[in-house]
Homo-oligomer: A and B are copies of this chain.
Amino acid sequence: MNFLEEKILMDGTIKQGNLLKIDNFLNHQIDINIMRQIANEIKHRFQDVEVNKVLTIEASGIAIATMVGCLFDVPIVFAKKGESAIVSEDKYESLAYSFTHKKINYVFVSKPYLQATDKVLIVDDFLADGQASLALIDIVHQAGAQLSGIGIAVEKGWQKGGNILREMGVRLESIAIVEEMDWETQSIRFRNQPKCKLYRSC
């Protein structure tokens, strides 16, 4: 069991509706030590590929992207959602449905910040249905850039995003893949791991 799976067991909660709540260390409050480890692990897993830009989507992907960009020593781009009075018309656009917020997000990146010469590593905190990743891949392709891979902290293995991306031939690395969760027993099973109750009682 790796550091992130252990952290989820220690500090995660399963809410009714099988929602994994780990916003105490990943995406509301951020445990900087776990974030450093996540970034180091993503850097390690993509050490053999060329990366000259890290791409994510606002908001909660930005912390991981910043740490990963720092390790690769490359610029970070975060795709924005919705309209802004400042951003120019000169942008790549895609759409992503957010199941969390139950709305379609208009996702965009200003054209100058993605070039055909870019080798792009996409990173995000969660992968579920893959809507955000697919929108970002669409944008990378519109720019004529090369996708180096996708690095994810927590993948919800029973949702379709991981399968879609792997079947597309995308190099996808998820540090923790949650295979199943049960709210009533507060138990969780990670891919290739035994089922455990939260708070470390495996």
Residues of A within 8 A of B (CB): 15, 19, 21, 23-24, 28-32, 35-36, 58-60, 62-63, 65-67, 69-70, 73-78, 80, 82-87, 100-102, 109-110, 112-113
Chain B residues with CB below 8 A from A30, complex form: 66, 69, 75-78
Tell me whether B29 and A86 are in contact (CB under 8 A).
Answer: no
Number of copies of this chain in the oligomer?
2
Q: How far is the CB of A96 from chain B (nearest CB, A)?
A: 15
Tell me whether A76 and B29 are in contact (CB under 8 A).
Answer: yes
Chain B residues with CB below 8 A from A102, complex form: 85
Tell me whether A85 and B101 are in contact (CB under 8 A).
Answer: yes
Chain B residues with CB below 8 A from A58, complex form: 58-60
Q: Is the interface of A mostly helix, strand, loop or mixed?
A: mixed
The distance in angstroms between the C-alpha atoms of A87 and B75, with both chains bound, is 31
The distance in angstroms between the C-alpha atoms of A59 and B21, with both chains bound, is 20
Chain B residues with CB below 8 A from A35, complex form: 66, 70
> Can you report 23 residue pairs joining A to B where beta carbons are below 8 Å apart?
A19-B85, A23-B87, A24-B112, A28-B77, A28-B109, A29-B76, A29-B113, A30-B66, A30-B69, A30-B76, A30-B77, A31-B75, A32-B66, A32-B69, A36-B70, A58-B58, A58-B59, A59-B59, A62-B62, A66-B67, A82-B101, A84-B101, A86-B100
The distance in angstroms between the C-alpha atoms of A15 and B19, with both chains bound, is 43
Other A-B pairs, 16, CB within 8 Å; known A59-B62, A86-B100:
A23-B87, A24-B112, A28-B113, A29-B76, A29-B110, A29-B112, A30-B69, A30-B76, A32-B70, A32-B73, A32-B76, A58-B60, A59-B78, A63-B66, A82-B101, A84-B100
Task: Choose among A21, A29, A67, A76 the residue with the greatest number of B CB atoms under 10 Å from its CB.
Answer: A29
The distance in angstroms between the C-alpha atoms of A110 and B83, with both chains bound, is 27
Chain B residues with CB below 8 A from A29, complex form: 75-77, 110, 112-113
